[in-house]
């Protein structure tokens, strides 16, 4: 795992014990920190207890002590000594006096704008950070390396995986992490000359203060997650912080296909040749890139090419990487071809802006959409409605989307579930057409996450006669 000597003897609280939170706990304790951790989900707390047989806060069973203050805990620490460091206490953070801490580490899923613990921490003058900031702090202890940070409302997972693939194709040691794959702190450090490729959500950027990326990438900024921000401008400003943390001598790559991203690019115009702007609508021959079809993937590819060049990767290696990239599951993933009808899983398209380019990638589409809507309209998709043979709405937003589409002149069937939508679309589709799951909505009304939704789609396609 990745650790830092600067954490030794420090006191941290960690809230949220999903993958990144658990990795942060393990890394901090391995680095000699004292940690108190909590998650309201008992199943997430459970796996830590056998691993960390904590003496708690440096051996004290109920409270941290020292010049920074003391805290009373209502829950006892884990029972045995940790083999990795000073120890861990698992306790409800609502019972802890935060004045005894050095920092509060949040899972990116914890809302900064509404969670009461965040308010308490800020009132106590406590630094609130995430696992990416811990990685930034640990960089001084790592072998010589570079970091690529990639953000944007849409396309960042594909672009992150593509950059990672191009680097490995070129023989450059590379790891990807952040909002994709294994948490970065849980991975083994790269040898000298390696590149860490990080997908960064706005939530992760909000919890980061010192990450100076050698290459920072912004693909686009369109309305999303507005329940976590005081309006769209605040959301865009969160994305822009990736460049504010960056040294001016480092490389910036920005797509300028939307007003917010173009504005951010203009603010960085003083960087001169260190700024690469990616214009929309660039004509490209994507025929040799089977996993990178559609206009959105043209932008993703251009961003990855710019990153590769900034890192000194040769043109032949970049080309080989683009051609051999196999894509990611749930992102324009062709899962089957039946009777010359293609079935494409784009479950990751959780807003209209992400679904629009998917519709634009095919001529005749049977479109499965719906879920928990992030907005009231499908305006971003409207220019592609002429490609929709029929739409099949599902989930919580199904009735609303159906009304919207009918008013726009699109034929609609209110299927309700993915299973019924697949069956109906498969029955109606003709050779050469595409059945596309690109929901333009989140999955949480019917599924745990977009991955489960995509897996259900895949299974339903597999069950077709």
Q: 389 and 364 in contact (C-beta within 8 Å)? A: yes
* Residue of 225, 263, 277, 400 marked catalytic: 225
Catalytic-residue membership of 156: yes
Torsion of Cα atoms, 151 then 157 then 163 then 166, to 10°: -170
Q: 303 and 148 in contact (C-beta within 8 Å)? A: no
List the structure tokens of 76: 């006892």
Catalytic-residue membership of 179: yes
Catalytic-residue membership of 348: no
DSSP 78: P
Distance (Å, rounded) from C-alpha 289 to C-alpha 287? 6
C-alpha dist (Å) from residue 131 to 22, 52, 158, 288, 450 = 10, 19, 22, 38, 23
Distance (Å, rounded) from C-alpha 28 to C-alpha 381? 45
List the structure tokens of 400: 């609303």
List the structure tokens of 179: 């909002």
Count of CB atoms situated within 10 Å of the CB of 109: 12
What HEC string does 279-348 produce?
CCCCCCCCCCCCCCCCHHHHHHHHHHHHHHHHCCCCHHHHHHHHHHCCCCCCCCEEEEEECCEEEEECCC
Count of CB atoms situated within 10 Å of the CB of 428: 16
Please name the residue ranges forming H helices in 170-256.
202-206, 232-244
Map tokens 């440096």 to a residue: 58
* Residue of 179, 220, 300, 345 marked catalytic: 179
Count of CB atoms situated within 10 Å of the CB of 41: 11
The helix or strand, by DSSP H or E, that contains position 108, with its residue range, turns out to be none
DSSP 189: P
* Residue of 156, 250, 296, 366 marked catalytic: 156
Which sequence positions are flagged as catalytic? 156, 179, 225
């Amino acid at each position: 795992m990745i650790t830092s000597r600067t954490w030794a003897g420090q006191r941290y609280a960690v809230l949220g014990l999903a993958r990144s939170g658990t990795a942060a706990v393990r890394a901090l304790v391995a680095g000699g920190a004292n940690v108190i951790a909590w998650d309201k989900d008992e199943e997430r707390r459970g796996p830590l207890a056998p691993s960390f047989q904590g003496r708690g806060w440096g051996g004290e069973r109920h409270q941290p002590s020292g010049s920074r203050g003391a805290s009373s805990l209502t829950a006892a620490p884990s029972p045995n000594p940790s083999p990795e460091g000073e120890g861990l206490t698992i306790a409800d953070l609502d019972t802890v006096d935060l004045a005894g801490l050095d920092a509060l580490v949040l899972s990116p899923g914890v809302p900064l704008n509404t969670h009461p613990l965040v308010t308490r921490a800020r009132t106590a003058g406590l630094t609130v950070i995430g696992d990416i900031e811990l990685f930034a702090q640990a960089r001084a202890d790592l072998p010589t390396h570079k970091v690529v940070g990639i953000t944007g409302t849409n396309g960042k997972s594909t672009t992150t995986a593509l950059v990672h693939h191009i680097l490995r194709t070129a023989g450059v040691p590379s790891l990807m992490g952040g909002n994709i794959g294994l948490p970065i702190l849980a991975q083994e450090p790269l040898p000298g000359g390696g590149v860490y490729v990080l997908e960064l959500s706005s939530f992760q950027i909000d919890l980061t203060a010192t990450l100076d990326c050698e290459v920072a990438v912004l693909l686009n900024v369109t309305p999303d997650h507005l329940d976590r921000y005081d309006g769209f401008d605040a959301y865009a400003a969160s994305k822009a912080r990736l460049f504010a943390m960056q040294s001016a001598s480092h490389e910036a790559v920005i797509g300028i296909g939307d007003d917010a991203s173009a504005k951010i690019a203009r603010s960085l115009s003083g960087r001169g040749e260190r700024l690469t702007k990616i214009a929309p609508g660039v004509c490209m021959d994507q025929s040799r890139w089977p996993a990178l079809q559609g206009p959105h993937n043209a932008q993703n590819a251009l961003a990855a090419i710019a990153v590769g060049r900034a890192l000194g990767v040769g043109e032949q290696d970049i080309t080989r990487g683009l051609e051999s990239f196999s894509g990611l599951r749930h992102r324009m993933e062709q899962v089957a071809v039946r009777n010359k009808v293609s079935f494409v899983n784009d479950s990751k398209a959780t807003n209209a802006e992400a679904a629009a380019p998917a519709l634009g990638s095919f001529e005749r589409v049977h479109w499965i959409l719906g879920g928990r809507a992030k907005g009231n309209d499908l305006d971003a998709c409207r220019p592609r409605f002429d490609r929709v043979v029929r739409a099949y709405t599902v989930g919580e937003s199904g009735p609303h989307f159906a009304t919207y589409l009918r008013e726009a002149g699109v034929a609609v069937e209110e299927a309700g579930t993915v299973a019924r939508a697949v069956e109906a679309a498969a029955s109606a589709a003709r050779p050469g057409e595409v059945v596309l799951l690109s929901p333009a909505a989140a999955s949480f009304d019917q599924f745990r996450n977009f991955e489960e939704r995509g897996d259900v789609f895949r299974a339903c396609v597999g069950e077709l006669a």
